[in-house]
Chains A and B, each alone.
Chain A
Amino acid sequence: MGLFSRGSFSTIIQKIFGKRHARIGIYGPPNVGKTTLANRILRDWTGDIMGSASEIPHETRVAKCKKNVKVENGKSSLLMDIIDTPGIATKVDFKEFMNTYGLSREEAKRRAKEATEGVIESIRWLEDVDGVLLVMDSTQDPFTQVNVTILGNLEARNLPVLVAANKIDMDDSSPATLKSAFPQHPVIPISALTGYNSENLYTTMVKQFGRKRRKKRR
């Protein structure tokens, strides 16, 4: 054995230049697969899950946090607190829950009320995260105002962002459109449902979120 044991050199470098522990928010509009992705990450690295996913929008209405999730990339690794946030939207219509998803009026109203509170909570969490995994639906138009607003907000805060172009297992997905829409950020095509390309996502997460950056406070 030499002066340094295996992996210790990269550990020293990481100590000097990079983060060891980061709080990462999973953000995005409703129904893009944030909780499915959170479950995928946790299942792969802790054997646990974050919460239930549903086809009805605003299934996650309270932010959930899983602490000390160690994601490894070869000899380097990053300890993360993963926060699964409620979907951010500019509107919440209880009638949509009734007419499209068959919820009762009472259920739909309660869900809508909780969803509005969830959006506020998500926005509040932006103050306390070190980086964001922004989930977008690669079957949808990428230029939605919510995507553009969140990205602009993160850029203003100088927070590292990684775009997960989700749902590439769907026939009509177009991750290339997402890549060309946001060339200033790394975009990783994935399927949170099947796990496709998750290794690439984890490698990029460790690199992207492990860097030291000076966060701008607002």
Chain B
Amino acid sequence: MTKNDKGISVNLISRQKLEELSSNEKLDFILKEVQKGKVLVLEQGLTSMEQTNLIEHTMREIEQDTFIGIEMEGYNEDKPTFLQKFLGKMKKPRMTVIGPADLLKTIRKDNNMIQTKIIPGKRS
């Protein structure tokens, strides 16, 4: 549910769920949920390459009267230390929030906080 007066779904997606999916499956899942009007908070966000692919997928799905794109904010993965690189341990991307661009609005983002607002009136 999303467009009626029952409210807007904000779903926290666990790291386990995301790790079960391949990169393409993850992007399909996210985009389908967002197109339904849901706001997703990913416990483990997308890599920069996945974010770029998501933007590309989103552009293909834009329907001018119903889906204008996504709002996405998150923090990129930290740079691995020399030791982590040596051991082949890459850092995972951090939490990310993604939603329909006509619902979710980023207010402010810095290194400490991502502040967003959900503006339901835009979909009514």
Residues of A within 8 A of B (CB): 88-94, 109, 112-113, 116-117, 119-120, 123, 126, 141, 143-145, 148-153, 155-156, 218
Contact = CB atoms under 8 A, between A and B. Distances in A.
Contact of B71 (A91, A123, A151, A155): A91
Nearest to B96: A145
Contact of B51 (A93, A120, A152): A152
A189 to B, nearest CB: 21
A109 B64 CA distance: 7
Contact of B62 (A92, A149, A151): A92
Interface stretch (B6-14, B36-44, B52-60, B81-89): B52-60
A88 B55 contact: yes
B24 interface: no
Given A89-B69, A90-B101, A145 B74 contact: yes
Contacts of A119: 55-56, 59
Contacts of B51: 145, 149, 152-153
Contact of A123 (B56, B106, B110): B56
Given A92-B68, A143-B109, A116 B62 contact: yes
A103 to B, nearest CB: 13
Interface in B57-98: 58-60, 62, 64, 68-74, 76-77
Contact of A149 (B52, B69, B102, B108): B52
Interface of B: 47-49, 51-52, 55-56, 58-60, 62, 64, 68-74, 76-77, 101-102, 106, 108-111
16 contacts: A90-B55, A90-B71, A92-B59, A94-B68, A116-B59, A116-B62, A119-B59, A123-B52, A141-B108, A145-B72, A148-B76, A149-B48, A149-B52, A150-B52, A152-B47, A152-B76
A187 B77 CA distance: 21
Given A90-B72, A119-B55, A151-B48, 19 more contacts: A89-B55, A89-B69, A90-B70, A91-B62, A91-B68, A91-B70, A93-B101, A94-B64, A113-B64, A116-B59, A120-B59, A143-B111, A145-B51, A148-B48, A149-B48, A150-B52, A153-B51, A156-B48, A218-B49
Among A113, A126, A148, A218, residue most surrounded by chain B Cβ atoms (within 10 Å): A148
B107 to A, nearest CB: 10
Among A113, A119, A150, residue most surrounded by chain B Cβ atoms (within 10 Å): A119
A90 to B, nearest CB: 5
B49 A91 contact: no
Among B69, B70, B101, residue most surrounded by chain A Cβ atoms (within 10 Å): B69
A93 B48 contact: no
Contacts of A93: 68-69, 101-102
Contacts of A145: 51, 72-74, 106, 109
Given A120-B56, A153-B49, A143 B110 contact: yes
Given A92-B69, A145-B74, A153 B101 contact: no
A150 B73 CA distance: 13
